[in-house]
Amino acid sequence: MRILGIDPGYAIVGFGLIEAERAQARMESYGAITTPAGLPLSKRLLQIDRDAQELLETLKPDVVAVERLFFNTNRTTGIAVAHSRGVILCAVERCGVPLCEYTPSQVKIAVTGYGKADKRQVMDMTRRILRLKSLPKPDDAADALSIALCHARSATSRLPRPAPNGKTV
């Protein structure tokens, strides 16, 4: 199964494609969609939409896994990220690819076994699981790979998981 993980953002959208079969996962590709800092948010969103569509058409994933938003302290940044996330969700739907969403805690549990793991622990475990020599850069791409790994582990689990329609199966 080809799983495209996406870490939403408006300056940087991380993406990571893995090939997962049974308990094995292999990194295929990773990177980031970036938008220039000086652009108005509307132009950034348009660029993200176009680049996400091109990414989906080029990589041809079987499923897309996207991180659900968690608002911590900076709600202004969170709102802009939510706009970007909405654009990404629309691009995935337009391309007809199944979509699953995971909370940050679900990703941490799937990758490290601990729901309150810090970012470094998640990144290091992602590197180890995918047998990478170094951490993927930018960090957003490493985050996207961990989201893809979360789906790979969830898809092979017998535990309840989010279905592409958002309901738990």
pLDDT in tens, 53-111: 999 999 999 999 999 876 555 555 678 888 999 999 999 999 999 999 999 999 999 99
Residue 74: its pLDDT value, please? 52
Domain membership of residue 28 as a residue range: 2-155
Residue 18: its pLDDT value, please? 98
User: How many domains does the chain contain in total?
Assistant: 1
Q: At what angle do helices 119-129 and 104-112 cross, to 10 degrees?
A: 50
* CATH code for the domain of 56: 3.30.420.10
Residues 162 and 137: their CA atoms lie apart, in Å, by 28
Residue 84: its pLDDT value, please? 93
Residues 169 and 166: their CA atoms lie apart, in Å, by 9
Domain annotation covers residue 162:
no
Report the SS3 class of residue 162. Answer: strand
What does DSSP assign to residue 31?
Answer: E
Element spanning 12, H or E: strand 12-21
Strand-pairing partners, residue 60, are none
Per mean pLDDT, which range of 18-22, 23-27, 94-98, 164-168 is the poorest?
164-168
Domain annotation covers residue 27:
yes
Domain annotation covers residue 165:
no
Q: Who wins on pLDDT, 156 or 125?
A: 125
Residues marked active site are found at 7, 67, 140
Domain annotation covers residue 163:
no
What percent of the chain lies above the pLDDT cut of 70? 87
Query: Global pTM?
Result: 0.88
